[in-house]
Amino acid sequence: MSVIREHFDILSDGREVEKITLVNGNGTAVSLLTLGAALQSFRFNGVDIVLGFDRAEDYFSSGAYIGTTVGRVCNRTADGCFVLNGQTYHLVCNEPDRRVHLHGGAVGFDKKLWDYDVVREDSDACVAFTAFSPDGEEGYPGNLELKVTYTLTERDELKLEYEAATDADTPVNLTNHAYFNLNGCNGGKVHNTYLCINAEEYTPVTERLVPTGEYASVANTALDFRTAKPIGDALDHEDDTMQYTGGVDHNFVLSRTRGDMREAAVAFSPDTDIRLRCFTDLPGIQVYTGNFLDEPGGKYGLRWGKHQGFCLETQYFANSINQPNFPNIVIKAGGAYKSCTIYSVSMDGKE
């Protein structure tokens, strides 16, 4: 395992963004940025399977959160507010047309410049990113200490471990917003990628893309991925489940409570024979098919449009803080948050 540290770019305020690349003995390589603790590149068998940027400022100008760590609370919070311990907190509504708070607000964790340390564990290498979110940032209560650790194993697994500690009761829901394209980041639309999601239910959304609070069966809907099918089958045969989303942009219920590590989803490209398996201990996975992608400044001089990437965002459910029948996302003062997600890649038939 080798670790390469190098200069990536300079922000407009003069701060340096660094890139750390982990390379295992198989030649699999992941590049990570101190900006947003982002996954900038994931190269397997000669194919870069994630979208990303070559310029730091593009991470600020893009509204797609490409590859970044997002929080304090990922996904959408209705009306940008919640009540905790009898007090109402008002968050930044950075999707004003929908009147929602999205992915941590105007300056969420995706815009932070994180510190990092390289840690070796036996044959694997880890990069541990740390950051601080002060009390009141984007409207949230409590000081929050953050840590996100990326580990690349010799089994071609990329493990993401999230930790947070707080001095006041506060909601926390962290995820990574990588856009995958198993045909390669220059491989066009993802319609021919097969996807299987190990979920019997999903959480329906309103026209504001906020969950209603209900649980609904995926059976007999375009969102039924319990048996692998091409993503295009859902995109080309939209039904009422996608009335407001323009594609798949839904939370799939892996469990109604927090559980042990489980296989959440499997994707496969018949073009490259690359298989991606996603494991998590979180209760939900937001599957997003890049319905609003419009990125003219991607890496390698590429531009990406609608449906040219898909996200597997492991998470607690959107708007959980306002839905008592959803899993609880509040960390108590002095308490801690921990979660783990693994993205495992292989060639088909070679696990």
Question: Active-site positions?
Answer: 177, 313
Query: Among 176, 178, 201, which Cα is nearest to 41's?
Result: 178
Phi/psi at 37 (5° precision): 45, 50
Quote the CA–CA distance of 14 and 324 in Å, as a whole number.
Answer: 44
Quote the CA–CA distance of 37 and 178 in Å, as a whole number.
Answer: 11
Q: What 8-state DSSP symbol labels residue 203? A: E
One-letter identity of residue 252: F
- The number of angstroms, rounded, from the C-alpha of 173 to the middle of its chain's C-alpha atoms is 11
Residue 246 region, left (φ>0) first, then alpha (ψ -120 to 50), else beta? left
Phi/psi at 277 (5° precision): -115, 135
Quote the CA–CA distance of 156 and 340 in Å, as a whole number.
Answer: 16
Query: Among 121, 12, 58, which Cα is nearest to 300's?
Result: 58
